[in-house]
Chain A
């Protein structure tokens, strides 16, 4: 079979799958469109007119979640401390709005920052973000630092390569370097890079992917000597799946530590450097040593249809914090690495909360 033969069959099948979603009511899609349009318009007006009610909304949301969405929760074995950082994703804007909260979910504060990624620096003094607000024609994506309250944006834009976007990254434990994903529109220079944390300059390639493939979400080992990252390639199943690789900071000793298709974006080193936690598609938290041995799932007793994603370790190594998706929305949860003490951290219903990280 030629590629064009295959293409014709694939096109015909896809066309059939969307044609006449409801053939008995040809205007059903149009009715749905106008209903959704009116709903959005009402929501806009309501948002604009009810600013004063904002104080009451969190309380209502908490009560609603208690009544309608009660996943299995085990009481925590100890009161965790520190602050967590997490995003609420906007599918329309393709970005997250970022918040911090106490590790028990109280004192949620908006940073007033939107972006694809955000992550605490190792000492918790700043937050590394993707500076999506400055991204546009002639202005490739670059990272930036903000203070923990979202103020004092410091662009890290000293890299002059105009075609290379620099996206999600992680700061080394000594605070001097950022491991960061790089990508171009034509996919020719996708890879993992290092830049200076002081100004974003000093670009160095650590590992470059074959054209058209992607590498993402680099995270430093606690001692800063190695980097773990996600990589995909064509034909990997299931959709969105890829593999996690570990490489020395100088680009040597590159090795794959999961099967192809056995991992999803977002992985995190334990503070002692012995484990990496990641999501096995779909929705299974899994632990593996950095050399690829010892792989096993975190035994979570989740409701049907729920799944876990974006895992990250607590600073003391006693908890894994992650997003738990269910019924089209997600909140932040934490659990011990042995699967005990599953605890809900955030409680806002109807939102897509994700990518939590935790600092002391």
Chain B
């Protein structure tokens, strides 16, 4: 990744800071849902906001800069098996700071997000945005840059996959 002088910081620092404060926790939750690891999630969120900061003169002018940062986070969080295996390879599960994050959550919650992460990439992204952020189909489509019909298909397939993995009989919405 190319480093460059961070000119946008001088251009609109308050705007970026307020954006960060508004979005940080939600975006961190999204990254945590898709990675299952607090340390990795924090690294991804840091990188995503750093990219936003560097380009803030352009991204800050978007109607929904939050959609941009979410797109970056979901793409960094779930990037096919390469991502899955690299997370495993980072040895972070051997490091105590990462264990604490897992134990904060109940077993049923951990099992649910584990099942989400085992879905195919696009289904996992759609499921995380749908359930965690309660976003409308149109908003998810905008974030993931796909047609609304495609989002619906991934959501349908993802819910079926989750029901199967979790032993549930039905879905209700």
Binding site for B on A (CB under 8 A): 1-11, 13-15, 17-21, 26-27, 29-30, 33, 36-37, 40-41, 44, 89, 91-96, 116, 141, 165, 167-168, 181, 183, 185-187, 190, 211-214, 216, 233-235, 238-240, 264-266, 281-283, 305-307, 309-310, 323, 325-328, 330, 352, 354-355
Contacts and interface: CB of A to CB of B under 8 A. Distances in A.
Contacts of B105: 13-14, 17
B168 A167 contact: no
A45 to B, nearest CB: 9
Contacts of B50: 33, 37, 40
Given A27-B21, A307-B94, A3 B108 contact: no
A6 B53 contact: no
Given A14-B32, A239-B102, A165 B172 contact: no
- Looking at A29, A185, A306, the one whose CB has the most chain B CB atoms below 10 A away is A29
A210 B3 CA distance: 42
A282 B93 contact: yes
Given A3-B162, A5-B172, A167 B114 contact: no
A30 B173 CA distance: 37
Given A14-B29, A14-B132, A306 B94 contact: yes
A235 B114 contact: yes
- Looking at B46, B82, B172, the one whose CB has the most chain A CB atoms below 10 A away is B82
A20 B46 contact: no
19 contacts: A2-B168, A2-B171, A3-B163, A3-B166, A8-B131, A10-B109, A14-B29, A14-B32, A18-B32, A19-B25, A19-B29, A89-B89, A91-B90, A94-B83, A116-B85, A183-B81, A185-B121, A213-B118, A234-B165
B93 A281 contact: yes
Contact of A264 (B29, B88, B122, B131): B88
Interface in B1-31: 1, 3, 6, 17, 20-21, 24-26, 28-29
A238 B91 CA distance: 14
Query: Which 3 pairs of residues, A with B, have the shortest CB-CB distance?
Result: A307-B94, A10-B112, A325-B94
A282 B132 contact: no
B95 interface: yes
A18 B25 contact: yes
A136 to B, nearest CB: 12
B20 to A, nearest CB: 5
B157 to A, nearest CB: 10
Interface of B: 1, 3, 6, 17, 20-21, 24-26, 28-29, 32-33, 36, 40, 43, 46-47, 49-50, 53, 79-91, 93-97, 101-102, 104-106, 108-115, 118-122, 127, 131-132, 134, 159, 161-163, 165-166, 168-173
B91 A325 contact: yes
A29 B24 contact: yes
Given A3-B166, A92-B43, A94-B83, A30 B21 contact: yes
A265 B94 contact: no
Contacts of A309: 91, 94
Given A13-B105, A41-B6, A212-B119, A327 B89 contact: no
Nearest to A17: B104
- Looking at B79, B84, B94, B110, the one whose CB has the most chain A CB atoms below 10 A away is B94
Contact of B109 (A5, A13, A239, A326): A13
A322 B59 CA distance: 44
A359 B22 CA distance: 53
A26 B21 contact: yes
- Looking at B24, B93, B104, the one whose CB has the most chain A CB atoms below 10 A away is B93
